[in-house]
Chains A and B, each alone.
Chain A
Amino acid sequence: MALATWVGNIQASPVSIRSSARHPPQVLEAPDKLFARHARQQDIDAVSSRADDDDSSMSGILRRDFDVVSPPSKVLPPRSDDAADASDGDYKPPKVIPRSGEEFSMSGKLSPLHKVILSRADGITSAGDFEPFSPPPKIRPSQSRISRRQSVWTSGFIRNLINKFTGQSPTKPVPGSGSTSSGLTPCQQNGPSKYGIPEMETLPKYYGGGSETLWGTITTTNANPYKSCPQTGATRSYDFTVAECDIRPDGVETKRAVCVNGQFPGPLIEANYGDMIQVKVTNKLHEKGTSMHWHGFLQTGTNQMDGVPGVTQCAIAPNATMTYTFRAELYGTAWYHTHYSAQYAGGAVGPMVIYGPTNTNADIIDLGPVMLSDWYRNDYMTNIRGLMRPISEGGPINPLTNSNLINGKMRFPCSKTNLKCDTADYSTFKFTSGKNHLLRLVNTGSNAVQKFAIDG
C-alpha cells in the first residue's frame, strides 16, 4: 500500500505535446484461441486433497484440514524425501538428431560482442518524415502456428525494402518529447502482446469462473503448500511455438530475437491452484534447439518436465514438439523461459499466474504481470559466443545490458543510437483513484537486479 504513499520529487517542467491517437486501430482481432483466456478451460471436475501429510512437526502450525468435495479424493502419493523418484520409470527422452555444431564451436566467425556499441556508424543516417510501414491488420495466425504470413509482415524485410526504394528512413523523433505518440504500432514493438497496452484485461480471482471452493478451506496460513495441494481435475492447455521474431521492445532494432507465439513477452499461462498445466511446445527456430522451463514449479513426480536440456531432457529439435504436463502445486506469480543456451535473453519468456489463496481480503483490481527485464540488442548467440570466447582469442566478454523494459516496453532515446530507432511506447497501467491494485512483479531479465517503485 505504501508503494503509492511516497511523495515524489515531481519536476514540474512543462512538456510539448504532440497529439496523436495513442494506438492506431492496429490491434488485431484475436480469433478463437489467442487471447480468449477462458476459451480453453475445461470443467472443473472435482476437488480433492493430497494425502494427509504429517505437518505436526511444525510446532505452532495448524494441521491441515481440507474440505474434501465429492467425488472421493484422488490421493497423490505424499511428498517425501524421495525427491529423485519419478512417477514412472519409463522416461524416454525424445531423440534429437545432432545438428551442426554451431552452438558449441568457437569458429572464426566470432563477432566481437560490442561491435554494435563500438561502431554505430552502421545505423540509419538521416531522419525523414517517412511513416513506418504498418502491417496489414485483421490477420492473426492461430496460436499454434507462427505463420509465414506473420513472420514476413512483421519482419523488417518489407519495411527495409520500402525504405530502400524511397531513400527514406523511419522518423527519428526527439527523445523525451513528452508525448505518447509512437512511431511504432504495438505489433511492431512487441508482436501481438497485450501487456502494457489498454487492451490488457484485468485478471480474475479464479480461472474459468471458479470459486474458492476450488481449494477448499486452504488458506495461506493453514496448509503447507510444499507438502500437499488440491487436485482440481482440470487441465489448462496451451500451445506454444518458439521462433525468431521481429520485435523492437524499446524502439531500437533487435537482431534475431526469439519469441513465444510471435509476441514479447510471451502469452500468459493461467491456472488455479491444483490444476494440471499442459503446454505443447513446438520449435520453429532455424537449426537451434529449445526447451521450456517453468520457473518455480516443484515438478513433484514430473522431473522430466522441468525443461533443462542436458539435465532433464534432450533439447527440442527444430520442427519437433514436446508436450509438458505438470501440476500447479504452488500458487502465486511465476514465469517461464526457454532454457537452451542463452536463448531466453533473446525474448522467449512469459508470465504464469496460479490463482490461489491470498493474504488479503481487500477489494483488488488485478492488473496482472509486470515484467521487469534488461534487454540486449545483440542476438543471444553473439552474447554467448562472447561470454565463451576462448582464452587464446582474448577470453570472455561480459555482455552489457543495453536497455531496460517494463512489460517488454520502453522508449529508448533515439539520439543515443545510430541503429534504426523509432519512438516506442511505454507500458501503461490503468489505476483507479481510491482502489487497491495488484501488481505481479517478475524480474524476467537475464542479468540485472531491478529496483521497482512508483512515483506519487
Chain B
Amino acid sequence: MISNDFMPVEPYNTSMLALGVGQRAEVIVYGLGKPTDKVWMRSNIVAWSINDGQLTEALGVVYYEGADTKTIPTAGLNEGPAADTSPRWCGNDPLTVTVPSFPLKASEPAITKHLDIRMKNNGTHMLLNFGDNSFRANFNDPLLGKALSVLSTISSRQETCGTLVPRRQ
C-alpha cells in the first residue's frame, strides 16, 4: 500500500484492505505466482452495507502471462483473504499503519461544534439532519453565487469596517 486518497503513505503490507465509498488506495502487488497461474481478485461488500444478499462478492481474474485465459480459477466464492474474520467491520486500516509521507499538523480549531446526524421527520418526509439542520438546495440559485454576492457586499463595506472577509486576489 503506497497511497491513500491523493496522499502518499509510508508503504506497508496488507493482505486485504477496506475502502469506503469514494476512497482510493494505490497498491503494489508482487506477482508471486507461476507464469501459468490464474487467481481470483475479490471485493466483498461488508455485512453492514445493505444489499439483497444475492451477490456480495465481486470477482475479477488475474491471469499470469502463461495462463490459459479460456478458463477461470477454481477457488469458490467467499474464500481466500476476502473471507474476512470480521465481516462487519467497515473501518480502514488503523491510522498507526497509514502514515502519510508528508504529515500535516492539524491546527487548533477556532470553533468546535458538536453536530449529531439524525434522520428526522419534518412532517411529511424523513430527512437527514446535520446538527438539527437539513439542507434544501435551490437548484436555480446555488449557494456559491449567493456567497459571492454576500462577499462582494461585505467587501465593499470592509474598507471602512476592517478585514472581516477573505481578501480578493
Contacts and interface: CB of A to CB of B under 8 A. Distances in A.
Contacts of B165: 84
B143 interface: yes
Interface residues of B, number: 101
Contact of A11 (B3, B43, B79): B79
Interface stretch (A31-39, A257-265, A405-413): A405-413
B166 A402 contact: no
A353 B66 CA distance: 29
Contacts of A441: 17, 19, 24-27
Nearest to A295: B22
B131 interface: no
A93 B61 CA distance: 46
A357 to B, nearest CB: 7
A311 B50 contact: no
B32 A4 contact: yes
B21 A451 contact: no
B20 interface: yes
Nearest to B13: A2
Contacts of B30: 1, 3-5, 435-437
Interface in A230-265: 250
Contacts of A71: none
B14 interface: yes
Contacts of A455: 39-42, 73, 75, 79-81
Interface string A416-456: 11000000001111111111111111111111111111111
Interface in B67-81: 69-76, 79-81
If over half of B's interface residues share one DSSP class (helix, strand or loop), that class is named, otherwise mixed; here it is: loop
A268 to B, nearest CB: 14
Contacts of A395: 126
Contact of B69 (A370, A428, A447): A428
A455 B165 CA distance: 55
Contacts of A334: 6, 24
B158 interface: no
B145 A91 contact: yes
A161 interface: no
B82 to A, nearest CB: 4
Given A1-B29, A250-B55, A404-B45, A77 B169 contact: yes
A289 B139 contact: yes
A443 B3 contact: no
Contact of A9 (B44, B80, B90, B143): B80
Given A358-B2, A359-B9, A4 B125 contact: no
Contacts of A406: 41, 43, 58-60
Q: Which of under 10, 10 to 19, 20 to 34, or 35 or more describes the interface residues of A?
A: 35 or more
Contacts of A309: 137, 139, 142
B165 to A, nearest CB: 8
A426 B39 contact: no
B124 interface: yes
A138 interface: no
Given A372-B43, A374-B49, A453 B139 contact: no
A2 B39 contact: no
A84 B168 CA distance: 10
Contacts of A312: 142-144
A441 B14 CA distance: 14
Nearest to B150: A84
B31 A435 contact: yes
Contacts of A4: 29-33
Contacts of A6: 15-16, 80-81
A367 to B, nearest CB: 9
Interface string A94-110: 00101000000000000
Given A1-B28, A98-B140, A295-B22, A358 B5 contact: no
Interface of A: 1-6, 8-15, 17, 19-20, 22, 57-58, 61, 77, 80-87, 89, 91-93, 96, 98, 117, 178-181, 196, 198, 220-226, 250, 289, 295-296, 301, 303-304, 308-315, 330-335, 354, 357-360, 362, 364, 370, 372-374, 388, 390-392, 395-396, 398-407, 409-413, 416-417, 426-456
Interface of B: 2-3, 5-11, 13-35, 37, 39-46, 48-52, 54-66, 69-76, 79-84, 87, 90, 101-105, 121, 124-126, 137-140, 142-145, 147-148, 151-152, 165-169
25 contacts: A1-B29, A3-B15, A10-B73, A14-B74, A15-B71, A86-B144, A91-B145, A179-B70, A179-B72, A224-B104, A333-B24, A358-B8, A359-B3, A359-B9, A427-B61, A430-B65, A437-B29, A437-B31, A449-B20, A450-B46, A452-B42, A453-B81, A454-B39, A454-B41, A454-B80
